[in-house]
Amino acid sequence: MTVIANILIVTSILVGLIFTFVTMIGILRLPDVYTRAHAASKSATLGVLSILLGVFFHFWLKEDHFSISLLLGIVFLFITSPIGGHLMGRAAYMSGVKPTDLTVGDDLKEAVKEAREQNMKRLKD
Amino acid sequence: MMTFIWVSLILVVLSMIGIMFRVFRGPSVPDRLIALDGIGVMLISAIALISILFDTAFFIDVILLIAIMSFIGTVSFSKFIEKGEIIERDRNC
């Protein structure tokens, strides 16, 4: 039983460590704000979720302490972290940060221009 | 087992230090915001590992608190970057 508990804990924490390290490499080496936000929001979320799952298994299987607040923390991070990533990317686009030169298409530019024209027209009336 | 937890804690702290580089010399403000959000997320996992090391379950509430605070900080800062003010008076926007 102890062996199975150890295997569960070590596997979860190891997956979390790998994803945390990949987050650091992605934030340091990617060329652009949007690609960096992509790396940061996805892989950091999965990394911290796996590490919290490993800690939850440790407290549950080894110390008989079923921690509800850790499960609540996992659910909360899983909901709020992509929302934070979306808001940061949107703020970066609206404040005028240019994407890198490798970018092929930018569909949002025309949509934003159209929305601004409609807004000006509505303000004029 | 304890050695494994120590090594993983050290690796998490090393990746936090690596992200600090992007906080110091990111080219724009949203870069620093993204890096600080990543540091907040990694701080949560560091505190989870520390609560295993100290063999106590009282640090678990700190995790939830830091998650909520980091989310509120990210939302308010990105709204400030986007619109220039956090709490607006105009209701029609």
Q: For A82-111, how does the pLDDT look when each residue is reduced to its tens digit (9 = 90+)?
A: 999 999 999 998 888 888 888 887 888 888
How far apart CA B34 and CA B66 sit, in angstroms, is: 16
Taking an 8 Å cut-off on Cβ atoms, the answer to whether A17 and B51 are in contact is no
Beta carbons of B28 and A34 less than 8 angstroms apart: no
Write out chain B residues lying below 8 Å of A47, CB-based. 41, 45
ipTM of the complex: 0.88
Write out chain B residues lying below 8 Å of A44, CB-based. 37-38, 41-42
Largest CA distance in chain B: 57
Name the residue with tokens 């956090």: B86
Q: How confident is the model at residue B90 (pLDDT cuts 50, 70, 90)?
A: confident
Closest CA to B14 of A12, A24, A45: A24
Taking an 8 Å cut-off on Cβ atoms, the answer to whether B38 and A6 are in contact is no
Give, for B52, the enclosing helix (H) or strand (E).
helix B29-53
How far apart CA A86 and CA A76 sit, in angstroms, is: 16
CA distance A107 to chain B (A): 19
Beta carbons of A60 and B53 less than 8 angstroms apart: no
- Is pLDDT of B93 > 60? no
Instruction: Give the pLDDT score at B85.
Output: 81
Write out chain B residues lying below 8 Å of A65, CB-based. 57
Taking an 8 Å cut-off on Cβ atoms, the answer to whether B82 and A10 are in contact is no
